[in-house]
Amino acid sequence: MNLAATTTIQGENSIGVEAIFELLFQELRVATKASEQNCHDVAMRITAEVYRICSESKRIQASGAIESSAMTLARHRLSQCLRYYQLGSNRGRIELHSTLSAIVYRYINPPQRQLSYQGRLTIIEDFLQSFYLEALNAFRRESQLGSTYQPQTLLELSEYMAFGERYGKRRIPLPGRQQQLIILRAQTFSQQQPPETCVDIEQAAEGSSSDGDGSWEDPAVQQLRSAMATQPEPEPQEDTLRSVVVTELMSYLEERQQTDCADYFTLRLQDMSAQEIESVLGLTSRQRDYLQQRFKYH
């Protein structure tokens, strides 16, 4: 969005986007150690997103409260970005990974494969790596950035991680219902998984065998060697524990066929309010309260 060319969000009430930009720019300068140019660029991108949403949303346009909606949306986007910034690069990645893993855990279940708990975590790891790339491409496209753009600073990484979380949670309209985008992607990914492939770990570590059978080119071998060569950053103990607890609890609920409790837990991990949970699950307040008590029992 060209800030000089587009100065208002039109509607029954309108707001100058300069006011939104100035709010975001000053807040980023105060709350981060990023350079002024970096704060300017991120503030511009958030402002452009707010403008686009408010312009395209029929609900906001019909509300007669465009100014209030725009400011609320801008502050929400800012708070998401700053939350990841305050966590830092490593802890922010762990938080995003844990949040998205909890959402897709019950949907990653390849047909005709008996996956162990650790096996499912491995499949989820593979899925999320491809999803992060999709989210980055979507971020480039929606922010009108070049195809080679990569976050270079902590603020830019925080902006991308906040976008990635929102992108995964987007609700996609389907016949008679809505579903989160990341769940649809997880279901497709799960269905496309090939049968289990046995890989000789010693061969993967040492390279191709001398008989030249080409087995080193096997994608499964390449994937294993890549994983063996990767040295992940050590995770803080409390974050590792949180991730384990979340996945263990999801596994526990699945094993006991407590799918409604698993759904409730997934929505609670997304910080949804009681009213939002009732709306998504189609429950009355009393039914939601009963489900909450059952979940606490487990």
User: Tell me: the pLDDT tens digits for 221-269?
Assistant: 555 455 545 444 444 555 555 666 666 677 676 667 777 777 777 777 7
Q: How far apart are CA 115 and CA 80, in angstroms?
A: 35
**Residue 276 confidence (pLDDT) above 50:** yes
Q: How far apart are CA 118 and CA 248, in angstroms?
A: 10
Query: Highest-confidence range of 113-117, 126-130, 222-226, 234-238, by mean pLDDT?
Result: 126-130
- E strand spans, the chain: 8-9, 15-16, 171-174, 177-180
> What single string gives the DSSP state of each residue in 11-71?
SSS-EEHHHHHHHHHHHHHHH----HHHHHHHHHHHHHHHHHHHHH-HHHHHHT-HHHHHH
Q: How far apart are CA 61 and CA 13, in angstroms?
A: 9
pLDDT band at 204 (very low <50, low <70, confident <90, very high): very low
Residue in 103, 122, 270 with CA at minimum distance from that of residue 183: 103
Q: Please name the amino acid found at residue 76.
A: H
pLDDT band at 271 (very low <50, low <70, confident <90, very high): low
pLDDT band at 278 (very low <50, low <70, confident <90, very high): confident
Is the whole model's pTM more than 0.75, yes or no? no
Residue 114: phi and psi, rounded to 5, are: -95, 95
Residue in 276, 273, 248 with CA at minimum distance from that of residue 262: 248
Q: How far apart are CA 268 and CA 254, in angstroms?
A: 17
**Residue 279 confidence (pLDDT) above 50:** yes
Question: So what's the pLDDT on residue 34?
Answer: 95
